[in-house]
């Protein structure tokens, strides 16, 4: 089967493309030299020469805090506008049988909560979250009108070799000795092994639906710190008491964006935020990989 893969040169694509090649003949599209089709979806609707059976749309803008209006607009141009341009190009050669969109749990707009399901309102207010919500809604209508099986998956924090984002920052901090644990590190976070997305693609192409994806264990910060420290051959990071962390956050509030920690950041790393994977496990008879047992940082 023919699969079109957007964003294949990123962290997700580099980890799952070799696995997907066992099931599909893959065409990649993006800005990297390694891509089969060079195109900036945020600016143009590319020209395809053939139809595709499955589209895996993972290209998007993430892991970045915008500071200007132009940087905010870039999220909408890439995550929403890029999706619209992709769909226009697909229409010209014939719509796929299935479309799989990589969204995010950020669409819920929550900083804390436990076992959050897909029925929670989409209340995200950041440019990242809002642009993903817009893309989800556009694809819902576009696929319904054309009889395309749509799957929207909302991954949690993704673990894999050399991960980006918050997990990558944790690894770098522990490696350089510039990471401090706070309190008991008991806050839990939903995490997903990157290779699990590859195992889901054939199942999603047949079934469709809207799903959170994460593992079952919902590891604590201390469990993640212990796993990373062990692999790096480093001592477990020093833990500072909560009262001291609050004092640092108070000072950070007055420093503005330059501060390594403020009250908002402190809340994020000391409150649990977990998501339910019950729907996808039941619908697809799928079992996620346990992160703590399988996460390798290199």
Q: What is the Cα–Cα distance from 28 to 19, expressed in whole angstroms?
A: 14
Residue spans of the domains in the chain: they are: 2-162+191-222+274-294
Mean of per-residue pLDDT scores for the chain: 94
- How do 37-38 and 191-193 pair as beta strands? unpaired
Q: Which residues contact 19 (CB under 8 A, 6 or more apart)?
A: 195, 198, 199
CATH of span 2-162+191-222+274-294:
3.40.50.720
| Confidence label for 257 from pLDDT (cuts 50, 70 and 90) | low
Angle at which helix 242-255 crosses helix 263-270, to 10 degrees, equals 140
Instruction: Using the predicted structure, report yes or no on whether residue 269 has a pLDDT greater than 80.
Output: yes
Average pLDDT of the segment spanning 215-226:
96
Instruction: Give the pair of three-digit tokens for residue 18.
Output: 């070799």
Q: End-to-end CA distance of the chain, in Å?
A: 32
Q: What is the Cα–Cα distance from 202 to 104, expressed in whole angstroms?
A: 20
Instruction: Using the predicted structure, report yes or no on whether residue 94 has a pLDDT greater than 80.
Output: yes
Average pLDDT of the segment spanning 244-255:
87
Q: What is the Cα–Cα distance from 61 to 55, expressed in whole angstroms?
A: 18
Instruction: Using the predicted structure, report yes or no on whether residue 117 has a pLDDT greater than 90.
Output: yes
For 34-91, the pLDDT digits (tens) are 999 999 999 999 999 999 999 999 999 997 888 899 999 999 999 999 999 999 999 9
273 pairs with which residues across the strands? 113, 189
Q: What pLDDT, on a 0 to 100 scale, did the predictor assign at position 64?
A: 82
Instruction: Using the predicted structure, report yes or no on whether residue 259 has a pLDDT greater than 80.
Output: no
Instruction: Using the predicted structure, report yes or no on whether residue 289 has a pLDDT greater than 70.
Output: yes
Number of Cβ within 10 Å of residue 243's Cβ equals 8
Instruction: Give the pair of three-digit tokens for residue 46.
Output: 């590319």
Instruction: Using the predicted structure, report yes or no on whether residue 23 has a pLDDT greater than 70.
Output: yes
| Confidence label for 258 from pLDDT (cuts 50, 70 and 90) | low
| Confidence label for 183 from pLDDT (cuts 50, 70 and 90) | confident
């Amino acid at each position: 089967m023919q699969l079109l893969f957007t964003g294949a040169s990123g962290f997700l694509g580099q980890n799952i493309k070799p696995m997907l090649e066992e099931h599909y003949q893959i065409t990649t599209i993006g800005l990297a030299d390694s891509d089969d089709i060079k195109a900036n979806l945020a600016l143009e609707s590319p020209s395809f020469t053939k139809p595709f059976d499955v589209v895996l749309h993972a290209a998007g803008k993430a892991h970045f805090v915008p500071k200007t209006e132009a940087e905010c607009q870039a999220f909408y141009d890439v995550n929403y506008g890029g999706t619209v341009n992709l769909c226009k190009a697909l229409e010209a050669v014939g719509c796929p049988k299935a479309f799989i969109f990589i969204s995010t749990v950020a669409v819920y707009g929550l900083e804390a909560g436990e076992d959050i399901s897909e029925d929670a309102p989409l209340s995200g207010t950041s440019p990242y979250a809002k642009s993903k919500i817009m893309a989800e809604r556009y694809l819902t209508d576009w696929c319904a009108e054309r009889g395309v099986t749509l799957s929207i998956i909302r991954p949690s924090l993704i673990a894999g070799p050399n991960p980006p984002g918050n997990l990558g920052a944790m690894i770098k901090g522990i490696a350089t000795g510039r990471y401090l644990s706070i309190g008991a590190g008991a806050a839990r976070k939903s995490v997903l092994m990157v290779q699990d997305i590859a195992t889901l693609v054939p199942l999603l192409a047949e079934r469709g639906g809207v799903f959170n994806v994460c593992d079952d264990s919902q590891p604590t910060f201390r469990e993640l710190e212990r796993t990373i420290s062990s692999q790096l051959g480093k001592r477990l990071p020093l833990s500072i008491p909560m009262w001291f962390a609050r004092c640092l956050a108070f000072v950070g509030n007055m420093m503005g964006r330059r501060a390594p920690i403020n009250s908002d950041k402190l809340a994020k790393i000391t409150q649990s935020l977990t998501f339910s994977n019950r729907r996808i496990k039941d619908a697809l008879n799928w079992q996620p990989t346990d992160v703590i047992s399988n996460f390798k940082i290199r």
